């Protein structure tokens, strides 16, 4: 019995020591990050956390760039409720972006540092997110003396970004869709068809039965979670093969764990509170997302449109996004870029392709 107690005590000591070391590492990392931010600001750049009062809530931005004169690029993260990989916790994470742009990482309503337990549930709707974005855009236009800024949405953020860019061409230099959402029901149907093809190819009767048992889209709740599990199992969210490395999901979250702009409470809100609030409790928002069909709603744009879509993406289906793009009329031009090595989450290679393309298109004017 004594040896069990001793082992338990040793394990407790090891765990406590590990937590202390992690906290010390976090503090050291924060110090180095803030030192680099100070250097950037001393050399004419910007690296600043901003709190804004946005339509009755407090919301946060992180603004970073080596020069204040570069094009302003606003990121609308995925989720909703989960501010990765382009949330406020990304200070110092993407120098390849901040070398060429003033990057604005924005924790949207109910996400990360912008989460609060008193956010009105009725405010969780797409129109409100677009109105919030308008406040942020106006702040950035005024602060950096820009007539227009670039708006980049990822996944869920593309719903807001598409709508906002459609209605406010006078404020948007270009719209960029990364993992562009089109319609939830059709995304699910195409994912099911893809899984059925895999089951037939591999003569996998178990997979065939399981997928067929999910029923017809629109799937919600447990059935939707099961479908997402199968998509993930077969690389439809994060692709890899013998020559291709997956995107690092942990790598997308790790900077936030060390961020000088996130308290431990903010980290919890980013990983747990915001997701539960936005993805589960805000049922009206989920119903609205389920009903979105961008093909029917937004097809004529007055701003340049750029889609970056993972070839293997089965969450925001690649073929569906391409079909939507082909139907778009953009008087100022449009471009579709296939990320050959990625699914929903771009891996390092394809992420660099996106940044290089944007840098070539927008330069440093």
pLDDT the model gives residue 10: 62
**Whether 291 and 162 share a structural domain:** yes
pLDDT the model gives residue 180: 98
Query: Per-residue pLDDT tens for 220-239?
Result: 999 999 999 999 999 999 99
pLDDT at residue 7 tops 80: no
**Whether 154 and 9 share a structural domain:** no
Give the CATH number of the domain where residue 53 resides.
Answer: 3.40.50.1820
Provide the percentage of residues in the chain whose pLDDT is more than 70.
Answer: 94
pLDDT the model gives residue 364: 58
pLDDT at residue 48 tops 90: yes
Closest CA to 112 of 228, 273, 348: 273
Query: Per-residue pLDDT tens for 57-111?
Result: 999 999 999 999 999 999 999 999 999 999 999 999 999 999 999 999 999 999 9
Closest CA to 190 of 225, 217, 213, 165: 217
DSSP letter for each residue of 144-160: TT-S-EEEEEETHHHHH
SS3 at position 53: strand
Query: Per-residue pLDDT tens for 14-44?
Result: 766 666 777 777 788 889 899 999 999 999 9
Integer Cα distance of 325 and 139 in angstroms: 30
**Whether 13 and 94 share a structural domain:** no
pLDDT the model gives residue 29: 85
**Segment 30-36 long-range contacts (CB within 8 Å, at least 24 positions apart):** 30/258, 30/259, 30/260, 31/260, 33/91, 33/92, 33/258, 33/259, 33/260, 34/260, 36/92
**Whether 4 and 130 share a structural domain:** no
pLDDT the model gives residue 316: 98
- Does residue 329 belong to any structural domain of this protein? yes
Which residues span the domain enclosing 310? 46-185+243-362
Query: Per-residue pLDDT tens for 249-300?
Result: 888 889 998 999 999 999 999 999 999 999 999 999 999 999 999 998 999 9
- Does residue 160 belong to any structural domain of this protein? yes
- Does residue 197 belong to any structural domain of this protein? no
- Does residue 202 belong to any structural domain of this protein? no
DSSP one-letter code for 293:
B
pTM: 0.94
């Amino acid at each position: 019995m004594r040896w069990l107690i001793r082992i338990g005590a040793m394990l407790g000591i090891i765990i406590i020591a590990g937590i202390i070391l992690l906290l010390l590492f976090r503090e050291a990392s924060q110090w180095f990050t803030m030192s680099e931010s100070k250097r950037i600001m001393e050399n004419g750049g910007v690296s600043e956390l901003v709190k804004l009062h946005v339509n009755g809530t407090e919301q946060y931005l992180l603004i970073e760039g080596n020069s204040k004169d570069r094009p302003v690029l606003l990121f609308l993260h995925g989720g909703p409720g989960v501010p990765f990989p382009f949330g406020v916790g990304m200070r110092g994470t993407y120098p390849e972006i901040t070398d060429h742009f003033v990057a604005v990482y924005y924790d949207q309503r109910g996400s990360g540092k912008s989460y609060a337990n008193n956010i009105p549930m009725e405010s969780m709707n797409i129109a409100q997110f677009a109105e919030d974005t308008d406040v942020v855009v106006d702040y950035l236009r005024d602060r950096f003396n820009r007539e227009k800024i670039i708006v980049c949405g990822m996944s869920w953020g593309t719903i807001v970004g598409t709508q906002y860019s459609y209605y406010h061409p006078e404020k948007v230099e270009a719209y960029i869709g990364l993992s562009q959402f089109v319609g939830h029901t059709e995304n699910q149907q195409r994912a099911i068809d893809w899984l059925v093809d895999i089951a037939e190819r591999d003569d996998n009767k178990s997979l065939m039965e399981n997928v067929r048992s999910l029923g017809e889209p629109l799937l919600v709740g447990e059935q939707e979670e099961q479908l997402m599990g199968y998509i993930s199992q077969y690389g439809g969210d994060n692709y890899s093969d013998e020559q291709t490395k997956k995107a690092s999901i942990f790598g997308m979250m790790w900077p936030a764990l060390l961020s000088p702009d996130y308290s431990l409470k903010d980290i919890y809100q980013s990983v747990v509170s915001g997701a539960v609030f936005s993805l589960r409790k805000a049922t009206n928002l989920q119903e609205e997302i389920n009903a979105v069909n961008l093909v029917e709603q937004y097809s004529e744009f007055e701003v340049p449109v750029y889609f970056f879509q993972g070839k293997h993406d089965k969450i925001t289906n690649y073929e569906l996004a391409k079909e939507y793009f082909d139907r778009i009329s953009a008087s100022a031009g449009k471009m579709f870029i296939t990320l050959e090595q990625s699914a929903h989450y771009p891996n390092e290679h394809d992420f660099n392709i996106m940044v290089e393309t944007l840098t070539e298109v927008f330069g440093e004017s």
